[in-house]
Amino acid sequence: MLHIAIVEDDPSYARQLQDYLGRYSRESGEPIEVTVYTDGDEIVEGYRAQFDLILLDVEMPFLDGMTAAEEIRRRDSEVVIIFITNMAQYAIKGYAVDALDYVLKPVSYFAFTQRLERAVARMKRRERKYLVIPVKGGSQKVDVSLLYYVESQGHTLLYHTAAGVYSSTGTMKEVEARLEGLHFFRGNNGYLINLEPVDGVQDGSALVHGEQLQLSRPRRAAFMEALTNYLGEVVK
């Protein structure tokens, strides 16, 4: 299912976009869930990287679309953004926030579906898995392939990623359930390790991007078996 946000202060245009998305969903067979916001400040407040695509009006009274897009990009580098505008010059500014495209008002269904098809193609090419991590002041969207391991320190969880370490709260059991089926394995009570970046096992430790993560004696054989099975799947 595609999760799409419409950010438009004009009710008539918002309804039109909803109608177009409904029609596209029926014609393509692609299930779509739509959330509507009436201004940029509404979507930015509490944004949790929950959308695949944002249809964003440029001119709005409280927080304009360009400023909203800049704030969204700080929290979510992957969401596809398409600007809805009546002025073509905003398309050039859109490159600064990695906007995929823009649609000029009045919006025709043909022009809209062309852009939408392009957006869907980009999303399907990615086919990545993401984990949204609750952090202080908001949330962080992380590509699971770039999540090296999760470390438990009491009630604090440390997510070690390619972009740095993110601190959150929760239990290792909860994270393990969320990452089930994505080739993560418990090395001991304190580490949940992504098998993809494991370079090897040496002296009872998993080598992950230059770090040695100690494997508990009871889990060592099972970890090696899981790693061997994963590598066998990768080279098939």
Q: What is the pLDDT of residue 236?
A: 40
Look up the domain containing 156 and give its range: 130-235
Task: pLDDT band for 96, please (50, 70, 90 cuts).
Answer: low
Nearest to 212 by CA among 180, 236, 188, 176: 188
| Same domain for 226 and 207 | yes
Q: What does residue 98 show for φ and ψ, rounded to 5 degrees?
A: 55, 45
| Same domain for 139 and 118 | no
Question: Distance (Å, rounded) from C-alpha 95 to C-alpha 1?
Answer: 27
Judge whether residue 85 has pLDDT over 60.
yes
Q: What is the pLDDT of residue 40?
A: 95
In CATH, what number is assigned to the domain containing residue 105? 3.40.50.2300
Question: Distance (Å, rounded) from C-alpha 39 to C-alpha 228?
Answer: 51
Q: What is the pLDDT of residue 235?
A: 39
| Same domain for 105 and 171 | no
| Same domain for 116 and 154 | no
| Same domain for 122 and 14 | yes
What residue has token string 């054989």?
221
Question: Using one digit for the tens of pLDDT, what is the confidence trace for 104-117?
Answer: 889 999 999 999 99
Beta strands in the chain (DSSP E): 2-7, 32-37, 53-57, 80-85, 101-104, 130-135, 138-143, 147-153, 156-161, 164-169, 184-188, 191-194, 198-202, 205-208, 211-214
In CATH, what number is assigned to the domain containing residue 227? 2.40.50.1020
Q: What is the pLDDT of residue 234?
A: 47
Nearest to 5 by CA among 73, 219, 42: 42
User: Considering the chain, what percentage of its residues have pLDDT values greater than 70?
Assistant: 92
Of 165 and 233, which is predicted with more confidence? 165
* Residue pair 84/17 in contact by the 8 Å Cβ criterion: yes
Looking at 31-45, 81-95, 123-137, which range is the least confident one?
81-95
Q: What is the pLDDT of residue 99?
A: 78
Nearest to 187 by CA among 165, 171, 208: 208
State pTM to two decimals: 0.56
